[in-house]
Chain A
Amino acid sequence: MVNLVVEITHPPYGHENTFAGLYVALTSLAKGMNVTVILHGDGVYTALKGQSPEKKINVLSTEAQIQDILAIGGKVIAYRDALIHRGIVKEEMIEGIEIYDSPEIYDMMLESTDKVIVF
Chain B
Amino acid sequence: MVKKKLAIMLFSGPYGKQDADYMSRIAESALQKGYEVKIFLYGDGVHAQMNCQNPKSFLNIGEYLTKLADMGAEIKSCARCSGARGYTEGEFDEALDRYPSSKAVDAVKIHTLYSFIDMIKDCDKIMTFGGV
Contact = CB atoms under 8 A, between A and B. Distances in A.
B120 A115 contact: yes
Interface string A8-40: 010000001100110110011001110000000
A118 B80 CA distance: 19
A2 B120 contact: yes
B43 A28 contact: no
The range of chain B's interface size is: 10 to 19
A117 B113 contact: no
Given A4-B120, A17-B43, A20-B11, A118 B131 contact: yes
Contacts of A2: 120-121
Interface string B6-26: 000101000000000000000
B132 interface: yes
Contacts of A9: 131-132
Interface residues of A, number: 20
Nearest to B45: A20
Contact of B43 (A16, A27, A32, A117): A16
B130 to A, nearest CB: 9
B117 A17 contact: no
A88 B117 CA distance: 32
A9 B44 CA distance: 16
7 contacts: A17-B11, A24-B120, A27-B117, A31-B117, A31-B118, A32-B121, A33-B121
Interface of B: 9, 11, 42-44, 81, 113-114, 116-118, 120-121, 123, 125-126, 128, 131-132
The 4 closest A-B pairs by CB, nearest first: A119-B131, A118-B131, A115-B126, A31-B117
